[in-house]
Structure 1
Amino acid sequence: MNPSPDSKGRILVVDDDRLVLATLVHGLSQAGFEVVDADNGDDAILQARQHKPDLALLDIRMDGMSGFDVAAYLREHLHLPFMFLSAFSDEATVAQIKALGAKAYLVKPLDIAQIVPAVEAVMAQVRSGPAAQPARPAPAEADPLAQPVAIAVGIVMHRYSLTASAALARLQQLAERDGRPLDVSCRAMVQAVEQLALPGL
């Protein structure tokens, strides 16, 4: 079952907060996406198997199966790309997000006007990238920070209350000022944030 030709793509949205879920479904539908939704991990996997979305947007902390559990299943069994939306940004959470190979990570609270551009950016990346790219988890010895730009965009969006496009523009300006490629500059930023999160500092 393929998305309609005029759709921006099919996205699976998973959140156990019904109000958040309804807001995401409405906003993404209005933005031109075909949306499949679930309010728990078990239903999320059933919906993913049935509808084969192009991308999944997952809450992390849910009763029963967590967003991490769902993401691992999507990656290993269905080869589907995913991104996270969560109120938690502690060191352990961020480390697991990177290890799972998420395309992006957005920190709540965000309004739909900020979420839509971020989803559009990730969807464009998914659709333009090599078909095999989201299908394989990175080897354990590889750097799990496969998408430093997307993660850095999420950090800047949260810290400065910017849209995804504005956050990306700010990161590009920073990289140009420092004379470094965008991905190198973003990787350094993410690593610096991780260092600041270490206990004892």
Structure 2
Amino acid sequence: MTHLDKTKKQAADYLILIVDDDTLTGQLVSHVLEQAGYQVMAATSGAQALQMSIDHQPDLVSLDVEMPGMSGLEVGRNLKEHTAIPFMFVSSHTELDVVKQALDHGAIGYLTKPFVPAQILPGFAAALARAEDIRRLQRSEINLTNALASGRETSMAVGLLIARFQVDRDTAFETLREYARSNRRKINEVARELLAAEEVFLPFAKLFREK
């Protein structure tokens, strides 16, 4: 039985692959997850990550976006095209174009660096929960395409709220959901508008960085 076949109830039931060419960052994330009871493996390159994914079938792969050689985005594209292994991105980028690329590549989560240890567990827990939702949808074959798209949009919007307002993932998600409910909107619709609105700020962000 593979990890993808198991019913997830405890942290120890999950195997997570951490991919980051920055060993200190990889060690920090691995340590936090291991302390919480998760099984963790680590890779420092895209090629190594792909081979370990094939060999061990982890429940989730965490990919650094920028790595020498094969980037995290390239690894994600390969995982999406050739496996059913869910993946998320960890990156210092908050610009909309990078977030959109992550979304297009099939990511189910996006955690921004630098982060504090308290942000790590909620981010991975949310991605794992989303992965379980996807597996249930795959088994039942109910509206999979739309469900995947709306879930990724929500995850990306939550990541942007975390980066902009320096809050944890739970607070960002609950605030997004509360706003959607109070306005009688679907959460994925609000998330989509939030991602689109972020594009307005991109030229200003670049100008401020140049000053």
Cα distance in 2 between the residues matched to 1:197 and 1:90: 7
Corresponding residue for residue 114 of structure 1: 119
Structure 2 SS opposite 1:63? coil
Structure 1 SS opposite 2:85? coil
Cα distance in 2 between the residues matched to 1:150 and 1:58: 15
Q: Would the alpha carbon gap of residues 34 and 123 (structure 1) be closer, same or farther in structure 2, given more than 3 Å must change?
A: same
Q: Which moved more, 1:178-187 or 1:80-89?
A: 178-187
Deviations 1:165-198 (A, max 9, x none): 1111111222123221222112111111123325
TM-score normalised to structure 2 length:
0.82
Kindly indicate whether residue 64 of structure 2 is the aligned counterpart of residue 59 of structure 1: yes
The one-letter amino acid paired with 2:22 is D
The one-letter amino acid paired with 2:138 is A
Corresponding residue for residue 132 of structure 1: 138
Corresponding residue for residue 76 of structure 1: 81
Cα distance in 2 between the residues matched to 1:147 and 1:125: 9
Cα distance in 2 between the residues matched to 1:90 and 1:67: 16
CA RMSD, Structure 1 to Structure 2 (Å): 2.7
Corresponding residue for residue 196 of structure 1: 201
The one-letter amino acid paired with 1:13 is I
- Conserved? CA contact 1:99–1:144, under 8 Å: no
Kindly indicate whether residue 6 of structure 2 is the aligned counterpart of residue 20 of structure 1: no
Deviations 1:33-53 (A, max 9, x none): 111110111111111111101
- Conserved? CA contact 1:71–1:82, under 8 Å: yes
Which stretches in structure 2 are left out of the alignment for 5+ residues? none
Cα distance in 2 between the residues matched to 1:186 and 1:166: 15
Cα distance in 2 between the residues matched to 1:87 and 1:95: 14
Superposed counterparts of 1:1-201, under 5 Å: 2=2, 6=10, 7-129=12-134, 130=136, 132=138, 147-197=152-202
Q: Which has the higher helix share?
A: 2
The alignment covers a number of residue pairs equal to 195
Which stretches in structure 1 are left out of the alignment for 5+ residues? none
Structure 2 SS opposite 1:132? helix
Q: Would the alpha carbon gap of residues 75 and 111 (structure 1) be closer, same or farther in structure 2, given more than 3 Å must change?
A: same
State the Cα distance separating 1:2 from its structure 2 match: 4.3
TM-score normalised to structure 1 length:
0.86
Q: Would the alpha carbon gap of residues 148 and 92 (structure 1) be closer, same or farther in structure 2, given more than 3 Å must change?
A: closer
Once the two structures are aligned, what percentage of the paired residues are identical?
32
State the Cα distance separating 1:145 from its structure 2 match: 6.4
